[in-house]
Structure 1
Amino acid sequence: MKKLKILALLSLTVSVLVSCFPKASQVIRSLPVESKEQILSQYSSEEIAEGKVLYTNHCGTCHDLKEPESRTAEQWNRIVKRMIPRAKLNDRDGQLVRAYVIVNAKSS
C-alpha cells in the first residue's frame, strides 16, 4: 500500500511538472530549416538587427551566448525552436531571433 501511494505521488508530480513546461506554438514548431538567402528574402536588415538584440537580451540572461557562427542553420533551427518558449518569447520575437542566428550561422 505504501509503494502504491509513493507511485501515485510520483506520477502526480511528473504530471504537474510536464504540464507546467512551456511548449512552442504550432507556428514555431512548423518552421522549416531555411537557408540564409530565404531568411534574407523574408526579413529586413532592421528585423535581423532586432533579432540580435532579442537574442542578446533574452538568451543571454540564462546562459552564455554562443556565437551564431558556432552552429549550422539546421542546428540553430532545432535549438531556437526548443528555447523560444523557455525564453518566453512570442512567435514574432522567436522568429526574429531564429532569423538572426540562421543568417549568421556557419555554412553546412
Structure 2
Amino acid sequence: MSKNHTLEIEELTDITFYILLFLVQPKHGYLIMKTIDSMTNGKFLIGPASLYSNIQKLLVSGLIELVSSENKQRKTYQTTEKGIQLLKKEVQRRREMITLAEDIFNEKGEQV
C-alpha cells in the first residue's frame, strides 16, 4: 500500500500522526521538527523534505490548515477539526493494536 493511499483510507503513518498531533496547537515548520525531536527524546526525527511533503498532503486532505504566513519562510499550520477527529480515531486504532499485542505476549508468558 502506498503512503499516499493511507490518508484516503484514514490511516496515518508515524510522520503524519506526529505532525497532526503537534499541530493541535499552531506551529511553523521548523518548530514542528524541533517539537517532534524533543517530545520523542530524539527517537523520531523528521527532515525538512519529509516534513514539507507531508504538510502538503495534509493540507490537500483538509487535515491541517495554514493559519498564518507572515513571510514565505515562516508559515504556521494547525490541525483542522477533520484532522483532530482522524487523529482521535488513529489513537484508538493504535491503542487496540497495542492491547492485541499485549494479549498475545501475555498468553505466551512474555513480558512486553
Larger Rg: 1
With a CA cutoff of 8 Å and minimum separation of 6, indicate the structure with the bigger relative contact order: 1
TM-score by length of 2: 0.25
Identify the structure with the greater helix proportion: 1
Identify the structure with the greater strand proportion: 2
